[in-house]
Structure 1
């Protein structure tokens, strides 16, 4: 059974919106961490 084009487009739009929101959130967090590191509010991350 095939899926109507309208349903496929709706699903693609929802997936695109979720991915765009996720990328936007990741960039926002990375920007805040970089700002805090530049201002000396947090130091470099020590791993290990």
Structure 2
């Protein structure tokens, strides 16, 4: 049984929207961390 083209396109659109939102969120978080490190609000990360 095959999937109709309209349903396949809808699924691809939803997956694309989720991935775009995830990437956007990661970039916003990275930008905020970088801004905090530049301004001195966040110091170097100490591991161990």
Shorter-chain TM-score category? Answer: over 0.9
Normalization by structure 1: what TM-score? 0.97
What stretches of structure 1 of length at least 5 have no aligned partner?
A: none
Q: Deviations over 1:4-30 (max 9, x none)?
A: 000000000000000000000000000
Runs of 4+ in 1 over 2 A off after TM superposition: none
Give the RMSD, CA atoms, in angstroms: 0.4
Q: Which residue of 2 aligns with 1:29?
A: 29
